[in-house]
A and B are shown apart, each in its own frame.
Chain A
């Protein structure tokens, strides 16, 4: 037993070094500001953000400028890795007419293995936009927040929550691991969807909504503070010789108020809560 102890002591530092993952010795930080002039009006201008790491916060306002503030943070294993990051990872901001596009580019876009694994770059975006701008926001490992927007939206992240306050357009809001919280200043006028895999969905309607809701959760409940009417769903079936298989779909459809645009809400592990009183 005595002979084992020195061996154990040698292994522990080795294991702990591995479990720490990367050792970020070098860091760099930069703030980027840009302003784009676009036309005001509902769904006239468009803001598209497509990035990998970093949050996206968009706040609507009365002006007709899109003001972008990006906090760029680089963490690297060495000065050489930092130089690689500065050269390889870019954040392109372009304007075409009333459309502004922010796009993070880097070696990870081309699936070339772990060439970039010796550094980490995040772009945290704080954006002021005309409240009517339509939004197409995409990140991978952070949250997305939208405030005071009346334009249509397409919001997507993978690991992070989606939080939308005082929105009046229609569209989709999705994440994989995180909650989806949407409060409407005007209820969706067209088909919209709100999805997550691991997290709850909370919709705060502007007064009692008129909508058809398609609801699905595997491990959670569906709750509302207003009356709904259950609508028929379709039983899916298969036939194989003399064998008939019927399955209820695990979803439910309800009508709120007089009915209206279809709102699809889906989660796997989490509850769905429908509120009529706003936040």
Chain B
């Protein structure tokens, strides 16, 4: 029993020390804590880009960058950010980050490789590199670039291209990529097994995978005078390597590229 008490005391001491950490600028180090839950990082911004990179350590580092919206007075240079900072809540391995009221600017995460992400911003880009987990990203105005991802991805932008390069795909979770105005450029491992649903209104679909097409469907729409209007749905359905995970891709004004990783 004594060793357990001693180790509990040590853990508490480590936790207490975390709140006395010195930092430079908007930088918070969230140490790893014992939890059976997988690590998840949530970030929700109004104005600002989100960048995620990985490291071999177990803590999560959150850094804020100031918004570069202020003009520099003549002969002077901006020496840093003294605006309202970041608030980070860590609870049972779920780390939630947002800007404190009045704060704008980019947020940069350095996370362990095995981390799931839920990243949302209204105006800003989202860049992620090297995580293994469930990645859900959404931006209204900005690009999405995800590189060396293993697991599952849901990526959505209203006005921006989506570029995703996956090293491995979780066969049990669906993949979805959509944008209204932009190209969707995806790269998957050669052994990807997927059921493909892809649609673009003003663009083309390209792939170097062997896609077995499933054919288009006819859609019947009832008009006001009791008549039916029958049209062909321009959604492409097919399977890659015999089918598997659901892979849904959508762009309104942009082409779709489904690439095989070399």
Which A residues contact B (CB, under 8 angstroms)? 215-225, 228, 230-239, 242-252, 254, 271-275
Contact = CB atoms under 8 A, between A and B. Distances in A.
B80 A252 contact: yes
A235 B28 contact: yes
A216 B86 contact: no
A243 B87 contact: no
* B70, B72, B75, B76 interface centre (most CB from chain A within 10 Å): B76
Contacts of A234: 20-23
Contacts of A248: 23, 25-28, 64, 85-86, 100
B28 A246 contact: yes
A228 B100 contact: no
B87 A246 contact: yes
A225 B76 CA distance: 4
Given A220-B83, A224-B79, A248-B23, 15 more contacts: A216-B82, A217-B82, A221-B78, A223-B76, A223-B78, A224-B77, A231-B24, A237-B18, A245-B90, A246-B18, A247-B88, A250-B83, A250-B84, A252-B80, A271-B73
Contacts of B20: 234
A247 B23 contact: no
B29 to A, nearest CB: 8
Main secondary structure of the interface of B (DSSP, over half): loop
Interface string B88-114: 111110000000101100000000000
B91 A225 contact: no
Contact of A249 (B24, B80, B85): B85
A239 B15 CA distance: 9
Contacts, number: 122
B85 A254 contact: no
Nearest to B12: A239
Interface of B: 15, 18-28, 30, 33, 64, 66, 70, 72-73, 75-92, 100, 102-103
A232 B24 contact: yes
Contacts of A222: 78-82
A217 B23 contact: no
Given A248-B85, A252-B82, A242 B91 contact: yes
A218 B100 CA distance: 10
A239 B19 contact: yes
> Which 4 A-B pairs rank lowest in CB-CB distance, beginning with the nearest?
A248-B85, A237-B19, A232-B22, A221-B70
A247 B79 contact: no
A91 B66 CA distance: 49
Contacts of A254: 79-80
A223 B20 CA distance: 28
* A216, A239, A242, A252 interface centre (most CB from chain B within 10 Å): A252
Contact of B83 (A217, A224, A236): A217
A222 B67 CA distance: 12
Contacts of B23: 232-235, 248
A275 B15 CA distance: 42
Contacts of A238: 19
Contacts of B19: 235-239, 244, 246
A275 B66 CA distance: 21
Contacts of A223: 72-73, 76-79
A23 B99 CA distance: 49
B33 to A, nearest CB: 8
Contact of A250 (B18, B70, B82, B89): B82
A232 B24 CA distance: 4
B98 to A, nearest CB: 11
A238 B33 CA distance: 16
Given A228-B79, A230-B24, A273-B76, A246 B84 contact: no
A204 to B, nearest CB: 12
B89 A243 contact: yes
B84 A218 contact: yes
A102 to B, nearest CB: 37
A2 to B, nearest CB: 48
A252 B22 CA distance: 12
Nearest to A251: B82
